[in-house]
């Protein structure tokens, strides 16, 4: 008799992260929810990822599938994992991130209590991969429900490592867009939100680990190109849904462009121009005003003001998410 399929398939895309992946897999093995399988999709790694995963799999009771494909990008790896998944739910974990032990248990309880929801995310904090030091804790609201309008403006939820999704909806949504080199998670959440409401467990249950290897944030130009593609991709949908959505979305793009100019390229004047355009387009976003003010302040003062502001307004529409 064939083994019964697990309830949750954990899809772990990876590329040249042999030195990190076993720590990510350890965090899956530590889950209090046990009806799991692990599917590692290796996107053409040239390091010792295969050997490390093979050795690790022999030490745990969970079923582990390892497949290697020619290098085609993270989206292709996630899509292959979705195709291989046997569970009714898919949880994504990047191979350089970690889950807290109750992550899946709490998310599955949320979905069981609200079967109309198609996906659930959780809070995610930034940590240093080497030391474990917490770099940033989330201090913003965790929206849930019908999030389509909000997502058409900006990604108000979380990256893939924070999500558990009903597999049938991932298939119905068309899986991840292979044409996007970044922001593929945001694009997917928009398409999921067209199919079902999105829920949240409003606490930190995942760690996004910063390290010297590549992440999207290390290539802001690529991130901006993807943002622009998503802006264009859903332009007609925004116009159909509400008159203000195109303005707010364009403002978000200019704000993000200003952030890249200021924080990555050191072009303060160019950043200020982008922030002013964002405010002119949609003056009701606290992030844009915070970004403009921050351009005139030293980094330390910016950080302290943001933390203090969010300690009061972090759970409201006045929260500052990015600037």
27-72 residue pLDDT tens: 999 999 999 999 999 999 999 999 999 999 999 999 999 999 999 9
Instruction: Convert the pLDDT of each residue in 144-187 to its tens digit.
Output: 999 999 999 999 999 999 999 999 999 999 999 999 989 999 99
Pairing, β 119-128 against β 164-166: antiparallel
pLDDT at residue number 2: 56
Identify whether 202 is part of a domain: yes
Identify whether 235 is part of a domain: no
Mapped onto helix, strand or coil, the DSSP state of residue 102 is: coil
- The verdict on 84 and 139 lying in the same domain is yes
Identify whether 320 is part of a domain: no
CATH number at residue 117: 3.90.550.10
Identify whether 131 is part of a domain: yes
- The verdict on 32 and 177 lying in the same domain is yes
- The verdict on 69 and 177 lying in the same domain is yes
Q: What confidence category does residue 319 fall into, taking pLDDT thresholds of 50, 70 and 90? A: low
- The verdict on 77 and 198 lying in the same domain is yes
- The verdict on 178 and 277 lying in the same domain is no
Mean pLDDT along residues 77-100: 97
* Cα–Cα distance measured from residue 223 to residue 31, given in angstroms and rounded to the nearest whole number: 32
Question: In Å, what is the CA distance from 232 to each residue of 33, 77, 187, 192, 213?
Answer: 40, 25, 12, 18, 30
Tally of domains within the chain: 2
- The verdict on 181 and 90 lying in the same domain is yes
Q: What confidence category does residue 1 fall into, taking pLDDT thresholds of 50, 70 and 90? A: very low
Better-predicted residue by pLDDT, 87 or 216? 87
Identify whether 176 is part of a domain: yes
Q: Please check the confidence at residue 323 and state whether its pLDDT lies above 60.
A: no
Identify whether 48 is part of a domain: yes
CB-CB contact of 227 with 256 (8 Å): yes
Mean pLDDT along residues 233-259: 97
Q: Across the chain, what does the average pLDDT equal?
A: 92
Choosing from 210, 230, 265, the residue where a domain stops is 210
Q: Please check the confidence at residue 116 and state whether its pLDDT lies above 80.
A: yes
Q: Which domain holds residue 78?
A: 8-210
Among the listed residues 157, 184, 229, 183, the one whose alpha carbon sits nearest the alpha carbon of residue 75: 184
- The verdict on 182 and 288 lying in the same domain is no
Mean pLDDT along residues 224-230: 95
Q: Please check the confidence at residue 310 and state whether its pLDDT lies above 70.
A: no
pLDDT at residue number 44: 96
Backbone φ and ψ for 64, nearest 5 degrees, come out as: -125, 125
- The verdict on 41 and 151 lying in the same domain is yes
Identify whether 137 is part of a domain: yes
- The verdict on 53 and 149 lying in the same domain is yes
């Amino acid at each position: 008799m064939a083994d019964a399929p697990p309830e949750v398939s954990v899809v772990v895309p990876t590329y040249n992260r042999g030195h990190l992946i076993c720590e990510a897999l350890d965090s899956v093995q530590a889950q209090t929810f046990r009806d799991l399988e692990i599917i590692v999709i290796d996107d053409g790694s040239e390091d010792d990822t295969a050997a490390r995963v093979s050795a690790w799999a022999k030490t745990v009771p969970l079923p582990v599938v390892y497949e290697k494909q020619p290098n085609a990008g993270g989206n292709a790896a996630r899509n292959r994992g979705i195709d291989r998944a046997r569970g009714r739910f898919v949880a994504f974990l990047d191979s350089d991130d970690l889950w807290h032990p109750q992550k899946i248990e709490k998310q599955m309880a949320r979905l069981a209590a609200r079967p109309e929801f198609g996906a659930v995310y959780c809070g995610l904090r930034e940590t240093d991969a080497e030391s474990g030091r917490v770099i940033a804790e989330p201090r913003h609201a965790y929206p849930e429900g019908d999030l389509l309008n909000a997502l058409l403006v900006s990604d108000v939820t979380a990256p893939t490592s924070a999500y558990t999704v009903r597999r049938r909806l991932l298939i119905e949504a068309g899986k991840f867009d292979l044409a996007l080199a970044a922001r593929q998670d945001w694009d997917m959440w928009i398409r999921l939100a067209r199919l079902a409401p999105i829920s949240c467990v409003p606490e930190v249950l995942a760690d996004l680990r910063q390290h010297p290897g590549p992440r999207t944030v290390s290539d802001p130009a690529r991130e901006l190109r993807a943002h622009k593609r998503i802006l264009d991709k859903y332009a007609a949908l925004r116009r159909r849904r509400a008159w203000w959505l195109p303005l707010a979305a364009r403002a978000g793009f200019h704000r993000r462009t200003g952030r890249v100019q200021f924080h990555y390229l050191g072009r303060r004047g160019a950043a200020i121009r982008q922030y002013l355009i964002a405010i002119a387009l949609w003056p009701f976003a606290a992030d844009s005003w915070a970004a403009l003010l921050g351009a005139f302040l030293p980094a330390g003062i910016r950080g302290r003001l943001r933390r203090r502001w969010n300690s009061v307004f972090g759970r409201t529409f006045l929260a500052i998410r990015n600037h």
